[in-house]
Amino acid sequence: MLISFEHVTFGYRGVPVVRDVCFGIAEKERIGFLGGNGEGKTTVLKLLTGELTPDEGTVTKRNGISLGYLEQNGGFTSDATVYGAMEELFEEDRQLIARLRDVQEQMASADEQTMKVLAAREESLQKRIAARDSYHYDVRIKTVLNGMGFEAVYAQKVATMSGGERTKLKLCRLLLEEPELLVLDEPTNHLDTATLFWLEDYLTSYKGALLIVSHDRYFLDRLTFRTLELEDGTLTSYKGSYSKYRILREERRKEALRAYEKQCEEIEKLKTYVEKNIVRATTASSAQSRVKQLGRMERLEKPTPPKQPPRFLFSFAEQPHECVLRAERFDLAADGKTLLKDASFTLMRGQKCALLGNNGTGKSTLLKFLLSGDARVRIGRHVRIGYYDQENARLDAREKVLDAFWGEHRALSQTQARSLLAQAGLDAEDVQKCVGELSGGLKAKLALAMLEAQQANVLVLDEPTNHLDLPAREALESALRAFEGTVLFVSHDRRFTEAVATNIVCIEEGALRPFDGDYRAFLARRREPQKRTPEPAPAANTGYRGKEERAREAQRRNRVRAIEAELAAIEEEEAALKEQLAACGRDYLRAQELTARLTELSERTDALYEEYGALI
């Protein structure tokens, strides 16, 4: 067992946050950790890492355990470049390789007696290098950085990057460190779909244990095999991923209620028997037996009903014109970068359109442009647009929650306003707080309640699930599916998009591309290996190429085939050499020859791949 919690209780200012928590994490386990906003998940993680100490109980860690923790907003700080910050982790590998080269240089001119010492030293270094796979540390760094979207910024200083990028860099370092237990708190924040898929694939083959806090249900279903739920300070363990957990949780609650009701019936029967028979001489002894039975009975507590998720209901009074919104032949730029060129976009009544694209392609910028009042954007008749901003910028942190709501919806009575806020998940205490005192999840629920009160027939939503816990996300999904109006939205939550979207538009390579199919088909297409498009045959009247150009093309193709053949031959030779190296025992001179040849082949491979990349 890597870590175990034994009857752990912890609270702040005497108020318990977690009570009598017991669980363990075994080697290579994959665990999802769930709980509503403010339930205490972060507290449990800090108890696990040792940042907090239990008030009662013990947290036991295996001696020497390596533990990596990605905090939700735990950005990495460094004065180094992106690549340099990763390379720091492999300083020992670099030193081992340098020492080996130094020893091999000395061996070239050593006498017989010194050669024996150097050969032994070389063998020891080779074993250490092989055990650590030191020669491939550069490949490992590039694999992780490229997968996480940093392939174009190796030389950029970490200190100049945004908070989200530095959090991603922290995750890169943890993946390269490969701790025995990797604790990830919302690792999918700041990731676009392509990066999400890469991270999922990478973590499926991760050698250590994983403990993941995430609102991404796809992510949890793919990576976890046990689920911990924290509710009202109590931790419950379920076998299975998120989808299985939902079924098991409902079954457990029903079974607990059945057991409680059955016991209540039994108690009632016993009490009735006692009342009828305690005064009769013939049955008094059996009645006393029932009394003792009641006294010995361990009473079950009535199961606490599950917390009600927030409820949203989006409605409107008047249908808009069939064409809700149209923008034609427009360019879009931000921070001096062209995002879209000569683009057009149309939104029809009743569509629920997901706007997709990698980070930085301009999804949020496009939404703002469509709502900007620009003359190139035509809004249909009777269209009433409600906009949800992912930053909730229109909320004033100094205002009371009720005042902020009323500021936009003065026609509602106090009872109506409080009712809408309560349905969204803000209780009587929350509505008297300043907006700045609310958690991110409660701010999001406030903004959604204000949007609901607008009664807009077109909803434009920019990352509406950010900060929402899973029950709130599922409630919003249900409300939008039932909504009879039109929706245009951006979301990184794949299951949310799958549940809501009826059509998809993707921003790719500076263009808006509608996708013919549902979201599952879109994801399947994106996950297919990218096939190189064959070059079209030249048409007789438009694609003529001169003799010299055809000759150059033939030479290029011949060289590509030659490189591929040479790389295949090198791969075979390397495999044979490695077998010989493993079998040469203490024949140090032979080992030296084999190692030198492997180094030559490695350098030749690098040169060939560089040439190959330029040719294709």
- Give average pLDDT by consecutive 10-residue segment, the chain, 616 residues: 94 88 94 87 92 94 93 82 94 92 89 87 89 89 92 91 87 94 90 87 92 92 94 91 91 92 93 88 86 90 85 93 92 87 92 89 91 91 92 83 84 86 88 85 90 94 89 93 95 91 91 86 70 40 53 76 80 77 63 74 72 65
At residue 357, φ and ψ (nearest 5 deg) are 160, 160
* DSSP letters spanning 220-278: HHHH-SEEEEEETTEEEEEES-HHHHHHHHHHHHHHHHHHHHHHHHHHHHHHHHHHHHT
**What pLDDT does 613 receive?**
60
**What pLDDT does 229 receive?**
94
Distance CA(93)–CA(409), nearest Å, equals 64
**What pLDDT does 547 receive?**
61
Contact 107, 122 (CB under 8 A): yes
Number of H helices, E strands in the chain: 19, 18
Residue that has been written with the tokens 């939008």 in this structure: 480
Distance CA(575)–CA(329), nearest Å, equals 57
* DSSP letters spanning 407-457: HH-TTS-HHHHHHHHHHTT--TTGGGSBGGGS-HHHHHHHHHHHHHHHT-S
DSSP state of 356: E
Q: Is the alpha carbon torsion for 547, 549, 550, 552 positive or negative?
A: positive
What length is written for the chain?
616
Strand 67-70 versus strand 181-185 pairing type: parallel
**What pLDDT does 469 receive?**
86
Residue that has been written with the tokens 């060129």 in this structure: 341
Give the largest CA-CA distance in the chain.
121
Q: Give the bridge partners for 21, in sequence order.
A: 8
**What pLDDT does 589 receive?**
65
Would you call 364 exposed, middle or buried from its count of C-beta atoms within 10 A (0-12, 13-18, 19+)?
Answer: middle
Give the DSSP H/E element, type plus range, for residue 332: strand 323-334
**Has this prediction a pTM greater than 0.85?**
no
Amino acid letter at 614? A
* Domain 323-527, CATH: 3.40.50.300
Contact 292, 298 (CB under 8 A): no
DSSP state of 108: T
Token readout for 433 is 């707080």
**What pLDDT does 527 receive?**
64
Token readout for 12 is 């702040």
Distance CA(306)–CA(253), nearest Å, equals 8
Contact 300, 259 (CB under 8 A): yes
